Structure 1
């Protein structure tokens, strides 16, 4: 038994597998988020389509989703924040970072996904990408031909900048 793609520590056959097969429903928005991530690793593009809210399926490209799932190596899921989305809620959001490798490059996908309950089942509605934080330097940038700030007396490009 292999561990589930979602990182729960539970076997796939006992975690997201039954949700993908339609034997059980996701009880929370987070559980659906984890099942959707696992669907990429397990190449369950049809589940990704079926777990979309019915009002948002009209422009979903199942073949493009399948290609992305097949062409990527899914490395891990980190749940950052969950708001609402419990068993008794009607809506919720899950902030997550899904890490995958595509064309030799490791890429993080940081998103806040919105979920709604419709006829007793959770559905993915849409997602908003979270932009990386801008980092500001504490000190001015050192030019390549300036003296190295370490005090060696060498140019930066020949010292710490090498």
Structure 2
């Protein structure tokens, strides 16, 4: 899926402060996989912002995928505006690890109002690449 990267100096939506072209874009475009669980989590957040559904599916553990994922993710990305990401904690998930956990809060607006998704996401290596497996989710209405 081609992604409109706009200005290559635009700051990445993940909140890293880095330009998109040097942060999440290489992972989302398939040029360079995420090196850590946190980098994958940040790129997945950015993929939600951009509506990069294929990337979200491809970076989910194969055993966790469903035939309905593309349709559900497409609908979700069309009605949700992600407004901020805060990384709270990481456990393992380095370039040398096989598993990792990233705790974060992601703010968003939707037709139902504004809210914050608080999640402890679990990641693992699958064929050498980081993938999202699942997470403990809490939805906080603001």
Query: TM-score of the superposition, structure 2-length normalised?
Result: 0.87
Worse overlay, 34-43 or 62-71: 62-71
Give the alignment's Cα RMSD to 1 decimal.
1.4
Worse overlay, 56-65 or 44-53: 56-65
Partner of 2:134: 126
Q: Deviations over 1:14-73 (max 9, x none)?
A: 111110111001000000000000001111011000000111113552121112112111
Point out which structure has higher relative CO (alpha carbons under 8 A, 6+ apart): 2
Q: 1:83 to 1:59 in 2, by over 3 A?
A: farther
Partner of 1:141: none
2:12 to 4, 27, 35: 4
Instruction: Give unmatched runs, 5+ long, in structure 2.
Output: 1-8
1:40 to 48, 66, 81: 48
Question: 2:115·2:139 contact (CA, 8 Å) conserved in 1?
Answer: no
Partner of 1:74: 82
Once the two structures are superposed, the pairs formed by residues 9-158 of structure 1 within 5 Å of their partners are 9-58=17-66, 61-103=69-111, 105-130=113-138
Question: 2:60·2:133 contact (CA, 8 Å) conserved in 1?
Answer: yes
Q: Distance in 1 between matches of 2:137 and 2:66?
A: 21
Q: Distance in 1 between matches of 2:82 and 2:32?
A: 24
Q: Distance in 1 between matches of 2:89 and 2:96?
A: 18
Q: State the 4+ residue runs in structure 1 displaced beyond 6 angstroms.
A: none
Query: TM-score of the superposition, structure 1-length normalised?
Result: 0.77
Larger radius of gyration: 1
